[in-house]
Structure 1
């Protein structure tokens, strides 16, 4: 376990270094400085860096060599993940004031600036991912970058994370849905597969793709990502009830407060 922890720590450190390299420079921001500061505050508030770590691990699994292709996507996927958290914390969504042990972006900069920071991170993520084209050494690598961009956009959009978030909001306060167990189970699975698992699938798929994996291998990584994402969200649902606010760095009981459809609300803890 110590060796695993050591390797994980090293991978997180590398992900942090890559991410910092691609963040917008505040000294170059001029009139948009407030937005850039809010963006950087959001990204640099800590976190597991799970998605870029998984992307790099998948890249190494398939013996990828050109890390200049990989690094912009590692940064991009964490920017997209962070934007989703910034918007998720907004008063119109979950209205959370703390995340990762620090005040949320809207609690520091206001809801309007936090909204713009999230918008900025989403767009800057794709600006960053596009930098991989400059690192493509041949037509095959260029095609891989194009395919990776398609995956990133698809998994982050209305047929992925955004769609899952929409279903999550729609299911809030819906007691009739909980009464229909079959419908509730189908809705919960859709939410977890899209809101959480989609971006984890994206991480593993893009890492494999940029390493030169076959279409079948990339598909297999998508399946792995789906299982990892579902397990991750199930744990998150449980920790919202059983966790410690100091350890988690955010308030517990948020799901119950917002009457969300979760594994716990549907099945209980046992």
Structure 2
């Protein structure tokens, strides 16, 4: 669970139900095959923190932008892309996982074929939602290009391919960072980038925000690697101790140094978003509060239980 300050708690409480409403009501409207719609909706609405669309909305809020239904739909598109990646990651041909967010994985419930199609449908629908709204054509084009790069063969898919190709082969730190930057970090970076795009922030003013996003994404994967070692299935909603033989921070450098690496990249994320605030003379504390996602690490490190 996140340990959040009041501002982030209030922000999450306000926007997660609105994101969920879009996800719960719109997928079936855009799908004309009943079983496929059920499979797509099953994974999208199985739970989750909605971290990625929240980052987009928090970026917009930080930049003083209003959020209407069109912006909300475009932001929620990222959750469709993320859910597609999880469905495919769980497939028998990939990680062959049986549990996700405390529930049977999509292929366990619907079969591998329908699960594959559900992922395919969500990927395509994500791009549809980016443009099926009243945002300007310029924003449509920039958002679509950015998401295609983040999700495609130079981003998330590349990282997944590295994960498969090099399983059983020990990568060095630089190679592991590249894998994680693509597999996990690319969509998180896009989440912040999408907010910058919709807020029409000039390119030269985006760099500190994007550095924050890149370090946040790196921290997210290191944290996930650590949880596979010290977490429990009930708390995190998926099997643990599944990463033996995989390229993870604990496997590469041991648990203590993995915690140190996590501390380092979280610190870099905080420094970057503070710099973004100074650059634009704005309050970036809402985005900085997202780093509280990793606060649980101290309890795990000292062997305490979590709430």
Q: TM-score, normalised by structure 1?
A: 0.88
- In 1, distance between residues paired with 2:70 and 2:154? 25
8 A Cα contact 1:22 1:75, kept in partner: no
8 A Cα contact 2:36 2:117, kept in partner: yes
- In 1, distance between residues paired with 2:13 and 2:163? 32
Aligned to 2:52: 51
8 A Cα contact 2:57 2:67, kept in partner: no
Find the residue that maps to 2:243 and give its secondary structure.
Answer: helix
Residue 210 of structure 1 is aligned with which of 198, 202, 227?
A: 198
- In 1, distance between residues paired with 2:63 and 2:69? 16
Residue 172 of structure 1 is aligned with which of 151, 164, 167?
A: 167
- What is the CA-CA distance between 1:66 and the residue it aligns to? 5.6
Query: What is the CA deviation profile of residues 22-78 of structure 1, one whole-angstrom value per residue up to 9, with x for unaligned ones?
Result: 32338x62xx21111100111010011100000101111122236344222222110
Query: What is the CA deviation profile of residues 163-204 of structure 1, one whole-angstrom value per residue up to 9, with x for unaligned ones?
Result: 111111111012xxx2xxxx5212200111111111011010
Find the residue that maps to 2:28 and give its secondary structure.
Answer: coil
- In 2, distance between residues paired with 1:150 and 1:120? 19
Aligned to 1:10: 14
Aligned to 1:189: 177
- Which of structure 1's runs of 4+ aligned residues deviate more than 6 A? none
> Does structure 1 residue 264 correspond to structure 2 residue 225?
no
Find the residue that maps to 2:255 and give its secondary structure.
Answer: coil
- In 2, distance between residues paired with 1:65 and 1:10? 14
5+ residue gaps in structure 2? 257-307
Q: CA RMSD in A?
A: 1.7
Aligned to 1:228: 216
> Does structure 1 residue 22 correspond to structure 2 residue 8?
no
Aligned length in residues: 252
- What is the CA-CA distance between 1:2 and the residue it aligns to? 5.5
Residue 155 of structure 1 is aligned with which of 136, 150, 159?
A: 150
8 A Cα contact 1:70 1:207, kept in partner: no
Query: What is the CA deviation profile of residues 70-99 of structure 1, one whole-angstrom value per residue up to 9, with x for unaligned ones?
Result: 222222110000000000000111111001
- What is the CA-CA distance between 1:19 and the residue it aligns to? 2.5
- What is the CA-CA distance between 1:237 and the residue it aligns to? 0.1
- In 2, distance between residues paired with 1:7 and 1:69? 19
- In 2, distance between residues paired with 1:67 and 1:153? 24
Aligned to 2:62: 61
8 A Cα contact 1:62 1:212, kept in partner: no
- In 2, distance between residues paired with 1:146 and 1:66? 19
Q: TM-score, normalised by structure 2?
A: 0.78
- In 2, distance between residues paired with 1:151 and 1:6? 29
Aligned to 1:38: 39
5+ residue gaps in structure 1? none
- In 2, distance between residues paired with 1:264 and 1:248? 18
8 A Cα contact 2:91 2:97, kept in partner: yes
